[in-house]
Amino acid sequence: MTGTNRRRTVVKIGSSSLTATEGGLRREQIDYYAEELANIAATGEQVVLVTSGAVAAGFARLGFAKRPKATHEKQASAAVGQALLMQAYNEAFASRGLVVAQVLLTRYDFSARGRIRNASATLEELLNRGVVPIINENDTVSVNELKFGDNDTLSALVANLVQARCLVICTDMNGLYTEDPRKNPNARRIDRVSELNDDLFRMAGGSGSSVGTGGMRSKLEAARIAIRGGVRTFIGRANAPGDVLRAATGEGDGTYFDAELQKLSVKKQWVGFHSVPQGRVVVDDGARRALAEGGKSLLPAGVKQVEGDFHPGDVIEVALEDGKRIGRGVVNYAAWQLQAAAGLSSEEVLRRLDVSRIEVIHRDEWVLF
């Protein structure tokens, strides 16, 4: 038992499943997914839809020949396309007797506790009233540094927020392959993943289509977040009647990622995935071992470099000297204090500085990626 809600499923549909290369919505696809979700809802399951496609639906209407690259052009396309997307979903679900609601979220909303609490209460109310919430990123207000960009991460955060029993990520490929099958036709599909390690991330490439953005890499990132929140995750394809229900019940055409039994506490989920890091420290190999293998706290002696302007209580990211990010935690030092303490023994730090806790990041406030 993972503590998840056994009657809730989050389905994410990518741009590549909804739109044509030249832009515009494929109405038959919207209809297909509405039918699939309505059938799942008819089993008594509460369904949340996270959908991309606003930019892809809107750019042609704005006169662009292909998906634009500049942020303001994508935002304008999304503003046009989001209305088209909702109009299409609204009609498709209404004809199946279901009410839909539009919920637009940003990364910033997840990092601000008050905002995400309100979003969560809204989703609960909608779900309890039998409404299908349709979620997308609020593209027109998202700033570059804080953008989800693709909706894979967003769907994982939503799945954890509503404590879904399963996250179904629908895309144009039937799962994770040992290499992008568009580049290597001999690549092999991986059916089930019980431990998401670096080797799998190395297999995953970027988007293979001209409308998608995240590719397999961002889907794996999403799976990592969801499984650590206790949500089993499916990445794969759905195109025949019943495919989405099959995906949600363990018989889909794709890759399954087992939920971690020891799911992260809500606080650690916030530290690891919702918060916006205010800085970064680079640590040496001894500190890496302590954090990654020893389950220990980060001490000043292992800190090599300090970046950003943070204060005690902020979340910072921890990286290795080769740039690899290994996790995040709540820092007990201000950036200027840590600059002075970096590399020193704990006794030396206590002699020189007035810090409330010697640990740079305490193990209880640390999340390993």
Ligand X SMILES: Nc1ncnc2c1ncn2[C@@H]1O[C@H](COP(=O)(O)OP(=O)(O)O)[C@@H](O)[C@H]1O
By CB under 6 A, residue 213 contacts ligand VHF = yes
How many residues contact ligand VHF, by CB under 6 A? 18
Residues 114-153 within binding reach of ligand X (CB under 6 A) = 150
Least distance (Å) between residue 136 CB and ligand X: 13
44 marked as binding residue: no
Q: Which stretch binds ligand VHF (CB under 6 A): 131-139, 229-237, 254-262, 325-333?
A: 131-139
Rounded Cα–Cα distance for residues 226 and 51 (Å): 17
Instruction: Give Cβ neighbours of residue 206 (< 8 Å, ≥ 6 apart).
Output: 214, 215, 216, 217
**Binding site partner of 73, from ligand VHF, ligand X, none, Cβ cut-off 5-8 A by kind:** none
144 marked as binding residue: no
- Selected from 4, 9, 46, 136, the binder of ligand VHF by CB under 6 A is 136
How many residues contact ligand X, by CB under 6 A? 25
Are the C-beta atoms of 135 and 49 separated by less than 8 Å?
Answer: yes
**Binding site partner of 55, from ligand X, ligand VHF, none, Cβ cut-off 5-8 A by kind:** ligand VHF
- Selected from 34, 55, 104, 291, the binder of ligand VHF by CB under 6 A is 55
Q: Is 150 helix (H, G, I), strand (E, B) or coil?
A: coil
Instruction: Give Cβ neighbours of residue 249 (< 8 Å, ≥ 6 apart).
Output: none
Angstrom CA distances, 328 to 29, 134, 325, stand at: 39, 30, 9
Q: Hey, which residues does 10 pair with through a beta bridge?
A: 48, 167
What radius of gyration do the chain's Cα atoms show?
Answer: 22
What is the per-residue binding string for ligand VHF in 70-109, x denoting contact by CB under 6 A? --------x-------------------------------
Burial class (CB in 10 A: 0-12, 13-18, 19+), 199: exposed
By CB under 6 A, residue 23 contacts ligand VHF = no
DSSP code for 144: G
171 marked as binding residue: yes
By CB under 6 A, residue 275 contacts ligand X = no
Comparing CA positions, the residue from 110, 3, 99, 40 lying closest to residue 252 is: 40
Among residues 15 and 332, whose Cβ is nearest to ligand VHF? 15
Among residues 106 and 213, whose Cβ is nearest to ligand X? 213
Comparing CA positions, the residue from 191, 197, 244 lying closest to residue 220 is: 197
By CB under 6 A, residue 233 contacts ligand VHF = no
Least distance (Å) between residue 288 CB and ligand X: 27
Angle among Cα 328, 123, 143 to the nearest 5 degrees reads 50
Least distance (Å) between residue 139 CB and ligand VHF: 5
DSSP code for 298: B
Comparing CA positions, the residue from 11, 5, 94, 81 lying closest to residue 49 is: 11
- Selected from 8, 9, 11, 16, the binder of ligand X by CB under 6 A is 16
Rounded Cα–Cα distance for residues 57 and 75 (Å): 12
By CB under 6 A, residue 203 contacts ligand X = yes
By CB under 6 A, residue 150 contacts ligand VHF = yes
By CB under 6 A, residue 236 contacts ligand VHF = no
Give the relative orientation of helices 152-161 and 215-228 as an angle to the nearest 10 degrees: 10
By CB under 6 A, residue 82 contacts ligand X = no
What is the per-residue binding string for ligand X in 231-250, x denoting contact by CB under 6 A? --------------------
297 marked as binding residue: no
Distance from CA of residue 361 to its chain's centroid?
Answer: 24
Burial class (CB in 10 A: 0-12, 13-18, 19+), 182: middle
Contacts with ligand X by CB under 6 A lie at 14-17, 150, 171-173, 176-177, 179-182, 203-205, 207-209, 212-216
Contacts with ligand VHF by CB under 6 A lie at 14-16, 52-56, 78, 136-137, 139, 150-152, 212-214
Binding residues for ATP: 12, 171-172, 213-219
Binding residues for substrate: 52, 139, 151
